Structure 1
Amino acid sequence: MQYWLFKTEPDAFSIDDLATRAKQTEHWDGIRNYQARNFLRDQVKLGDKVFIYHSSCKEVGIAALAEVVKEAYPDHTQFDPESHYYDPKSTTDNPRWVMVDVKFIEKFPAVLALKKIKTMAEINEVGLVKKGHRLSIMPVNENEFSALLQAAKA
């Protein structure tokens, strides 16, 4: 099993949106960065655990935990000219972009703030705490995942 952090802007899609879906499952679409896409396509696997991270909002930080329930498949928004994520260079025969499905596991009692994460001595590898590492999808090593999960549940 691997561990990930997926960023979302809660004004567009929040953990509450995921938690209130009928099956508490949703596709994670709209990824338009090649490195993040490569993580989704090549490394994110069924059963991987995912921190849901709220960005560009009042309470920036880790809000919840989810699980990957469907591995990478073509992101349908790339084919829709009405979508913000439309890519005219992408074709159904050769799609550029993928998405995965995630399922809600739990919402934390409070958002584990980025400010707090940056003060945690055991957190030094995840992209959140490194300059220039602001991908929307990023790996989290097992030790940091455990530390962040414990802090988020406290």
Structure 2
Amino acid sequence: MRYWLFKSEPSVWSWDMQVAKGAAGEEWDGVRNYQARNFMREMALGDRGFFYHSQKDKAVVGTVEVSAEAHPDSTTEDERWDCVDIRALSPFARPVTLDEIKSEPRLAEMVLVRNSRLSVQPVTATEWALICEMGGLAP
């Protein structure tokens, strides 16, 4: 199993909206960055991810699971763009902010710290466990 981080502006797609989709989940569509698309192409069923609210909140708020592997993005006819489907798993007891992540020395090499603009990014198993712990969720 691999770990990922999915960023979304809560005014466009929030954690609550993701949770409302239930077990069916939802396409993680609209990504138009080649590196983020390529990461989605690497994902497998059952991979886990952090759901991250960008913009104002800037915090990890819960965990998700990849429920469908990469397939054509339904929001475009351009064959270059793929996406995965994700479903909500667990909310964090408390959000883990970007400031907290940046202040934790063990997370200094995390992609989120080094390239905070990338909307889909890998997370190491160590980063996963540490952020889950910070958010009050057993990894």
Number of positions where the alignment pairs a residue of Structure 1 with one of Structure 2: 137
C-alpha distance in 2 between matches for 1:136 and 1:11: 15
Contact 1:127-1:134 within 8 A present in 2 as well = no
Alpha-carbon shift at residue 44 of structure 1 (Å):
1.1
CA RMSD of aligned residues (A): 1.3
Structure 1 stretches of 4+ with a deviation exceeding 6 A read none
Aligned counterpart, 1:31:
31
Aligned counterpart, 1:74:
72
Aligned counterpart, 2:120:
137
C-alpha distance in 2 between matches for 1:126 and 1:68: 21
Give 3-state SS (helix, strand or coil) of 1:148's partner: helix
Aligned counterpart, 2:90:
106
Give 3-state SS (helix, strand or coil) of 1:11's partner: coil
C-alpha distance in 1 between matches for 2:116 and 2:100: 18
1:14-46 residue CA offsets vs partner (Å, 9 max, x unmatched): 1100111243511110110001111111x1111
C-alpha distance in 2 between matches for 1:64 and 1:44: 18
1:86-113 residue CA offsets vs partner (Å, 9 max, x unmatched): xxxx2xxxx1101111111011122211
Aligned counterpart, 2:60:
62
Alpha-carbon shift at residue 125 of structure 1 (Å):
2.1
C-alpha distance in 1 between matches for 2:116 and 2:13: 22
C-alpha distance in 1 between matches for 2:9 and 2:20: 17
Give the structure with the higher percent helix: 2
When normalised by structure 1's length, the TM-score is 0.84
Percent of counterpart pairs with the same letter? Answer: 39
Aligned counterpart, 1:147:
130
Q: Which runs of 5+ in 2 are unaligned?
A: none
Structure of greater Rg: 1
Contact 1:24-1:104 within 8 A present in 2 as well = no
